[in-house]
Chain A
């Protein structure tokens, strides 16, 4: 476990250092400029999808789906981060109590 955590930390640090150190023209390539911002969008959206609608390798529809809808509403209302996360967790907890 530690090896994976330290390796990931080293990669993240290396990317930051590379940005400050690499020749500017490498990263100024318009294709790189267009592509790099897309990757977090794709990954975060994939994380939202898989962590809401699956358990292990099975697609499931449970309290987390309702919790996500509440989170979407909170985001649309420009709620602070902790409120979005708290509202989603509270929704799932309440649904399981009922």
Chain B
């Protein structure tokens, strides 16, 4: 193992542990929203994309239907398709490797893979980060869900204030420029204006649609 490989493993473990800590709050929020232990853990194994999972349980916790939550989760997962596009030429995953690699196409693995100098190191970083994040993400989810199951009334602990803070933390790195910040503020305001008139979860889909129309119609900058 070269120094570059050792550095990648160290970073992958660090990112895994950080996402594991963040999975604790997913496990807790999901359980508070009413999902069972098995359902919560199944989401982390099968969906394995953080923002989508938080959105799904967030919509459920706010009284929306599972289908409104599922649609929101799917829309949030659309960015992973663009990550896959960037990774396709680096990974060169063929046959059985492609379906396996697909499951690991998330924010963290993409960031780690594209930051390398050569395609072999990119592949190494992708898989190392994928396995590390998958292991710690699922472990954190299980611990968070188990701990919350043991609590008498999670609302007393302010757990209803946790999801918006989680969404804000996910949003923050994406709105460092003026235009994304303006889009974020407008989206929040429009969702609140629509909220009294639409079933729970639907304002989110309306905002996503408006954002898509804006993106497709806007002139290239």
Q: Which residues of A contact B (CB under 8 A)?
A: 1-9, 11-13, 15-22, 24, 27-28, 30-54, 56-59, 63-64, 67-68, 71-72, 74-75, 80-82, 84-94, 96
Contacts and interface: CB of A to CB of B under 8 A. Distances in A.
Given A13-B47, A51-B62, 17 more contacts: A1-B35, A1-B39, A5-B47, A15-B78, A17-B84, A21-B88, A24-B89, A32-B82, A38-B212, A43-B75, A51-B61, A57-B196, A64-B160, A82-B22, A82-B24, A84-B168, A86-B25
A68 B161 contact: yes
Nearest to B55: A47
Given A41-B174, A75-B172, A85 B103 contact: no
A20 B158 CA distance: 40
Contacts of B115: none
Given A8-B69, A40-B76, A44-B171, A16 B84 contact: yes
Contact of B158 (A22, A31, A92): A92
B188 interface: yes
Contacts of B187: 41-43, 45-46, 49
Q: Is the interface of A mostly helix, strand, loop or mixed?
A: helix
Contact of A48 (B73, B102, B167): B167
Nearest to B210: A42
Nearest to A84: B169
Interface string B10-23: 00000000100110
B82 A11 contact: no
A36 B105 CA distance: 16
A44 to B, nearest CB: 4
Contact of A44 (B39, B158, B170): B170
Interface of B: 18, 21-22, 24-25, 35, 39, 42-43, 46-49, 51-52, 55-56, 58, 61-63, 65-67, 69-85, 87-89, 91, 93, 98-99, 101-103, 105-106, 156-172, 174-175, 180, 183-185, 187-192, 195-196, 200, 203-204, 207-208, 210-212, 214-216, 218, 220
